[in-house]
Amino acid sequence: MKLATFDAHGAERLGLVLAHPLTGEEWVFEPGPSQMRLAEYAKRGTSPYVATRPVFWESPPTSMIGFLESGADGMARMRRFQDFLLSFLAKNDTFILLGAGHRVAEVKLRAPIPRPRLIFGLVQNSPTAWRHVPDRQHLNVFPQGHQRPQGAVIDPGEPIVLPYSARVSGGWNPELAVVIGTGGRDIPVSQAMAHVAGLTIVSDVTVDYFRRDMFAQPEPWDWFEDAMTSWGDKKSDSRFPMGPYLVTLDETGNPYDLLCYTRQSGYLRDRSHTGAMNIGIERTVSWLSSFRALHPGDVIHMGTMGYDGSPFPFEPLDGDVIESEIERLGVLRNPVTYLPKPESGRVDVAPVDLLPSAARALIGTPDESIPSPGTWSVDHARHFWTVFGNYSMADRKEGLTRRPYPRFLAAPNTALAADGAGVRIPLRAHTLTVGCELACVIGRVTSRASVEDAARAILGVAPMAVLRDSSFKDAVVEPASPQERHLPAVYARWADGFNVIGALTSVDGDAWRDKVCRIAVEGVGTVETNTADYLFSAAQMIAYITRYITLFPGDVLALGPLGDELVLPDAVSRGASLTGYAEIDGLGRVTFSLG
């Protein structure tokens, strides 16, 4: 089956896509309205369905996520709906379904999952990424990748909006994306494909903007700034086209035998094959579920199957159309649009109508901002941003040279938990550490903010208790690449609920500075640090990030570790229970329990 999210009559809808059996033209049918029109037709005395009225759902699904949450039963009902429609359309006038069915050419297709909770993208997941490195003797076989924000997602046909630049360098590639249907934890490799609802196409777009900041600094560059600038460009607004459809596995056939094509304004740029994966879908699904629950609608894209990026540098011109095609999944087309050169002294601001869909939908609505710190909850957080090396001793302790930019990355929002949370320790966990960080919450849609505007966009700050799991680091086999060696520090805090945030406090200016941070665990001890050691303020980081990445109301930004943390006894990872708290003088306390 082909399923679509689309706009009709000003609303976002779910539809089943069919090639009309008489004309071959693609149509999309809404489950609820279609069932209603068929019921009306069945009431007619001349209808052949008077005795066997076609009813597929008691409560038809209206959104892709709602449909996926209905599980195997919902999928079976949709297949019966498809089989009936194909037979019905071959014998009856399509007019009977007027208003319930639409020509695909006449509707606006959306990304199949317009606002994914998880967007995990593998990198360097093809042998071509390593064949040119002759001293590589082995690869560490664990998924290497990063989390994207919802603001990067755009629809088929929606423009990839790039800031003005006199010169650009970048590339894009079609990638196979897996959409989770049935959620779960600790999913065995042998059962992983049963949790996949279907496949779609994404265009992995990278155009160097953040990266130039690193190139302007003296070498050597560390892995964290390399990852931040490379992946930061991928996380930027409108760099993640998705679509056109979610295609179920019964229609795609073998997901490891699909051809991929890359085109620029009609010219073929690259060809590749989905069989060229170091790590497959099953292993990736199983690995992710070993530390976080997977949910219906989570998106995992499997990386570039050709060379790691387009084979030659390209300069996308205003109006160029890039195409990503994967056999049996369709063609994803998006034009490239540049913002005009800003006038002297003015900030390059994207017009509202060129913001990515998820941000644009909030403008002018009550959801554009959160009214007060007391009304915020963890459920508001679409995104969770973490920072590395943001303390005075990072150079000496971690070899992270002080730079004029923060080393930020995104983490899944499911890694957050509220005050008083009972944190579930994953079965895979080894030695755990726990520390105290200062976190802030964004109060409104924030894009291209100055430091002053960024400070006003902060809803409040809070202490955060942060758990880290060493099992990722313990799994690395040396000799390893810098990425294999350092990614475990990123994943260490990604488990569900490993970042427990307290109630928000409003602060003025730098009133959060020079505050004692304290992490304490019953029977283990206490460690104190100080917020005076932070290099970048929250406002400085927000201003830097939002040059190219839109932040959403409720998003959480943690300012990073301050160097010293508590090491928990190994018994905790084996199920022993402990309680603890993190507090920052004058900014509150957050409590948690482990086990």
Secondary structure of 288-349 in HEC code, one letter for each residue = HCCCCCECCCCEEECCCCCCCCCCCCECCCCCCEEEEEECCCEEEEEEEEECCCCCCCCCCC
Strand partners of residue 566: 434
Distance of alpha carbon 127 from alpha carbon 276, whole angstroms: 7
Distance of alpha carbon 465 from alpha carbon 335, whole angstroms: 44
DSSP state of 220: P
Report which of 151, 142, 115, 206 is spatially closest to residue 385, judged by C-alpha positions: 151
251 and 310 in a common domain: yes
| Domain interval for residue 246 | 111-361
469 and 372 in a common domain: yes
134 and 8 in a common domain: no
Q: Which amino acid is at 178?
A: V
Report which of 127, 99, 492, 48 is spatially closest to residue 304, judged by C-alpha positions: 127
Q: Which two tokens stand for residue 370?
A: 């959160």
191 and 140 in a common domain: yes
- Residues of the chain with pLDDT below 70 are 307-316, 344-351, 354
> What pLDDT is recorded for position 309?
45
* DSSP-based three-state secondary structure for 105: helix
260 and 383 in a common domain: no
* DSSP-based three-state secondary structure for 146: strand
158 and 80 in a common domain: no
Full strand arrangement of the beta sheet holding 267-273: 160-162, 330-338, 321-326, 259-264, 267-273
Write down which residue in 109, 138, 172 finishes a domain: 109
Report the number of distinct structural domains present in the chain: 3
Write down which residue in 361, 389, 409 finishes a domain: 361
Distance of alpha carbon 357 from alpha carbon 62, whole angstroms: 19
Write down which residue in 91, 109, 127 finishes a domain: 109
Residue-by-residue DSSP string for 493-555 = T-STT-EEE---B---TTTTSS-EEEEEETTTEEEEEEGGGBSS-HHHHHHHHTTT--B-TT-
Residue-by-residue DSSP string for 339-396 = PPPPPTT------GGGS-HHHHTTTTSGGGB---GGG--GGG-S-EEEEES-BTTHHH
Report which of 438, 392, 330 is spatially closest to residue 109, judged by C-alpha positions: 330
Q: Which amino acid is at 35?
A: Q
Contact in structure between 389 and 407 (CB atoms under 8 Å): yes
> What pLDDT is recorded for position 307?
58
Measure CA of the first residue to CA of the last residue in the chain; give whole Å. Answer: 43
Host H or E run for residue 287: helix 281-288
Q: Which amino acid is at 298?
A: D
Q: Cis peptide leading into 112, omega within 30 of 0?
A: no
CATH assignment of the domain containing 387? 3.90.850.10
87 and 11 in a common domain: yes
Distance of alpha carbon 236 from alpha carbon 356, whole angstroms: 10
DSSP state of 258: -
171 and 210 in a common domain: yes
Distance of alpha carbon 163 from alpha carbon 155, whole angstroms: 19
Burial 521-532 (b: 16+ CB within 10 A, else e): beebeebebbbe
Ramachandran angles phi, psi of 452, nearest 5°: -65, -45
Q: Which two tokens stand for residue 134?
A: 């002759």
258 and 159 in a common domain: yes
Distance of alpha carbon 97 from alpha carbon 365, whole angstroms: 33
81 and 216 in a common domain: no
Contact in structure between 155 and 241 (CB atoms under 8 Å): yes
How distant, in Å, are the alpha carbons of 10, 16, 75, 198, 524 from that of 249? 31, 15, 12, 5, 50
Q: Give pTM, 2 decimals.
A: 0.95
476 and 569 in a common domain: yes
390 and 325 in a common domain: no
Contact in structure between 439 and 419 (CB atoms under 8 Å): no
Strands (E), 138-238: 145-147, 153-154, 160-162, 170-180, 196-207
> What pLDDT is recorded for position 24?
94
